Structure 1
Amino acid sequence: MLPPEGHPAASSGQVCHLQKSLYGLKQASRQWNTEFCGELLDFGFSQSYDHCFFYQQSGSHFTCLIIYVDDVLVTGSDPQCIAALKAYLDRLFTIKELGFAKYFLRVELARDAAGTYLNQRKYILDILANVGMMDCRPASTPFPQGLKLVGKSGILLTDPDKYCRLVGRLLYLNLTRPDITFCVQQLGQFVNSLSSSHWDAAIHVLGYLKGCPSKGFYYSAGGDSSLVAYCDADWATYPNTRRSVTGYCIFLGGSLISWKTKKQCTVSRSSAEAEYRALSMTVCELQWISYIASNFQLSIPTPIPLFCDNQGTLHIVANLVFHECTKHLDIDCHLVRDQFKSSFVIPQKVSSHLQLADMFTKALGPVVFAFLTSKLGMKDLHLGPT
């Protein structure tokens, strides 16, 4: 670091050698992470596959923590182990203890003996107030039914920065709101070619959030460790590129823990091909969750039910011979089939009207959307602002 102007001991060409990192420097975050992780490892913690998660098994007691820069969330089965960890961190870094978690990274937590409720009500109301939508009329769905956005449609926006800021906030809101996942993924595709139609679609999402700002998840404390997954694909959903979109959701003991909407990397030549790529992505996520679950000392029962509504895809999984029409799916087929043969997953047929992942691939009508949202386990404990 260059010495400040007027420093009496500094001569030409000299720089300051820092003994510790300072906020704002390019290397500060990396140095802080290296220092903090090293101290946790020295204390006996192990780093998970997810590098933000640390855990420690001491006899029959289990302690874990999650870090985000310098914010730490700690939990465990033994209060004495937690107290020893906090004393150790306070001796090294002088921490500030805030007690039981009630508001962490803009996520509100409410707890009782039966479980934990998560929502981002305050964050949603802040977004509405910032955009000036507190008095708007609520909408019943995030997107109008059947809406598909395309690039450069309508009048170009004169101030694209406000759209980008809004989409960035909605992306973070997706942490507890799977009901807007598909809409946010669609809005994020057009940050480089914005028009009035994209802004109107984003405003419609805010209208939906106005009607249910406190909707969130209630995670029961008595659930089991079984996994259930749903995956779906909407074939050639993008008019400009004709790529398909993948959607999946995964439940642990009846509670939704993972969901995603993602545009596929290549063009699929049939709906079965698009569904198979969605199946492959879901299997990868199930493998990742099983690795994390092992760090939590959870034993995941296998095979894991994996529900798909495309019969042709299920036939490809069960067929041990590659045909001419499916040889271009070689990698995806091997991945899913190997996990099927090892009894890690068991793909099963589900009716289209019971396919929970359908809401992650397209804009649905109010009746179907409300039905699928209720099946995801989302609850609203407060009324929206009037």
Structure 2
Amino acid sequence: MDVKSAFLNGFINEEVYVEQPPGFQSFNFLNHVFKLKKTLYGLKQAPRACEFEMSMMGELNFFLGLQIKQLKEGTFINQAKYIRDLLKRFNMEETKTMKTPMSSSIKLNMDKKGKSVNSTMYRGMIGSLLYLTASRPDIMYSVSLCARFQSCPKESHLKTMDIGLWYPKGDNFELIGYSDADFAGCKVERKNTSDTCHFLGHSLVSWHSKKQNSVALSTTKAEYIAADLCCAQILWMKQTLSDFNLIFEYVPIKCDNTSAINISKNPMQHSRTKHIEIRHHFLRDHAQKGDITLEFVSTKDQLADIFTKPLSEEQFVDIRRQLGVIYL
């Protein structure tokens, strides 16, 4: 809870004196000081001096656009009202329901000859959809891809965005990461997209889809950089969970590229891998320390694939189900 001016409203029992602040001097008593009745910012007593009564307003069911259902099976989060408001705001209430956020045949580029659309509206839509990804990981790739064209959006970019809604649940309690990357998926700069997702038990708790900063010369480097990003997030999660006495000796990162896995285990450099920047060997360092381990997973079972590219309806629905995205 954040209470404005909380440190200015607490009464103190000790005698604390302060100089007369500039602009508030009493010219009749210039050699006097003020005695504090209430706390000020910077006083060590301030955090404990502010007290006020609170009322129990019942079980939380709505917070910052998130609708919350607390059931015995688990806590479920959705943004159905936010979706309806969003559709109304952008005059999309009559839009037909789509089975996937983006067709697997779509290849977006700058489309310089295409018809321009209102960039302010387009950016507003992107920002709104990015907030929606808090409960909809399955639209993460589509929104991130469309966000790359905010400087000069065209009709072809605007037509790619469609919406729906649900959220996850689970019971097993392991920490697992999945990392994946496309190869030269960006048709403008030929850069790759790093994609990761992380499970605590069966619950999806973190996901990421971001264009890499450099052009990779091979799928191996692209996958290795994505696994490096996944490792950094895993280490942060391990540290946070340790504060709750949840200790994980090593965390598996599922990767579908055997060459990237081998680089993480073998410190030797080869002609095809010596160009990989030292900073990306952060992954290999923590693999050797035993903090994480890279494990092979087939492309069919790679759950991060949904953040990498548009999928067919069958693949999309299957991975979405495994991510824990369900109808309420």
TM-score under structure 2 normalisation?
0.82
Tell me the equivalent position of 1:355.
302
- SS of the equivalent of 1:241 reads coil
Tell me the equivalent position of 1:216.
167
Task: In structure 2, give the amino acid aligned to 1:216.
Answer: Y
Q: Deviations over 1:304-345 (max 9, x none)?
A: 111111111111112121223222224245311111111111
Higher strand share: 1
Q: Deviations over 1:28-68 (max 9, x none)?
A: xxxxxx969x999x45xxxxxxxxxxxxxxxxxxxxxxxxx
What is the correspondence of 1:321-340 to structure 2 with a 5 Å cutoff? 321-340=268-287
CA distance in 1: counterparts of 2:50 and 2:202, whole angstroms:
36
Task: In structure 1, give the amino acid aligned to 2:167.
Answer: G
Tell me the equivalent position of 2:195.
247
CA distance in 2: counterparts of 1:171 and 1:259, whole angstroms:
12
Tell me the equivalent position of 1:21.
none
Contact residue 232 and residue 358 of structure 1 kept, 8 A? yes
Contact residue 68 and residue 77 of structure 2 kept, 8 A? yes
What is the correspondence of 1:156-175 to structure 2 with a 5 Å cutoff? 156-175=115-134
CA distance in 1: counterparts of 2:41 and 2:207, whole angstroms:
33
Contact residue 304 and residue 344 of structure 1 kept, 8 A? yes
Aligned structure 1 segments of 4 or more residues deviating by more than 6 angstroms: none
Aligned-pair identity in percent equals 30
Task: In structure 2, give the amino acid aligned to 1:313.
Answer: A
Tell me if 1:366 matches 2:317: no
Q: Alpha carbon RMSD of aligned pairs, Å? A: 2.5
The 3 A distance-change label for structure 1 pair 147 and 104 is same
Candidates 138, 148, 154, aligned match of 1:195: 154
Tell me if 1:109 matches 2:56: no
Contact residue 317 and residue 333 of structure 1 kept, 8 A? no
**CA deviation after TM superposition for structure 1 residue 161, in Å:** 1.3
Q: Which runs of 5+ in 2 are unaligned?
A: 1-21, 25-39
Q: Deviations over 1:363-383 (max 9, x none)?
A: 1110000011011011111xx
The 3 A distance-change label for structure 1 pair 89 and 294 is farther
- SS of the equivalent of 2:107 reads coil
CA distance in 2: counterparts of 1:309 and 1:254, whole angstroms:
20
Q: Deviations over 1:89-108 (max 9, x none)?
A: 653xx767643221111111
Task: In structure 2, give the amino acid aligned to 1:233.
Answer: A
**CA deviation after TM superposition for structure 1 residue 171, in Å:** 0.6
Candidates 212, 216, 229, aligned match of 1:264: 212
What is the correspondence of 1:55-204 to structure 2 with a 5 Å cutoff? 91=52, 98-202=57-161
Task: In structure 2, give the amino acid aligned to 1:144.
Answer: S
CA distance in 1: counterparts of 2:327 and 2:41, whole angstroms:
41
**CA deviation after TM superposition for structure 1 residue 201, in Å:** 1.1
The 3 A distance-change label for structure 1 pair 258 and 158 is closer
Tell me if 1:236 matches 2:187: no
CA distance in 1: counterparts of 2:122 and 2:175, whole angstroms:
37
Q: Deviations over 1:235-283 (max 9, x none)?
A: 1111111100010110001110000000000010001000000010000
Contact residue 265 and residue 288 of structure 2 kept, 8 A? no
Task: In structure 2, give the amino acid aligned to 1:324.
Answer: S
Contact residue 110 and residue 117 of structure 1 kept, 8 A? yes
Task: In structure 1, give the amino acid aligned to 2:207.
Answer: W
Candidates 200, 204, 222, aligned match of 1:274: 222
Q: Deviations over 1:124-161 (max 9, x none)?
A: 11111222222221111000113221113453335221
Task: In structure 1, give the amino acid aligned to 2:198.
Answer: I
Tell me the equivalent position of 2:36.
none
Contact residue 195 and residue 308 of structure 2 kept, 8 A? yes
- SS of the equivalent of 1:111 reads strand
CA distance in 1: counterparts of 2:128 and 2:254, whole angstroms:
32
The 3 A distance-change label for structure 1 pair 148 and 102 is same
Q: Which runs of 5+ in 1 are unaligned?
A: 1-14, 18-33, 44-87, 382-386
More moved, 309-318 vs 367-376? 309-318
Tell me the equivalent position of 1:293.
241
Task: In structure 1, give the amino acid aligned to 2:58.
Answer: G
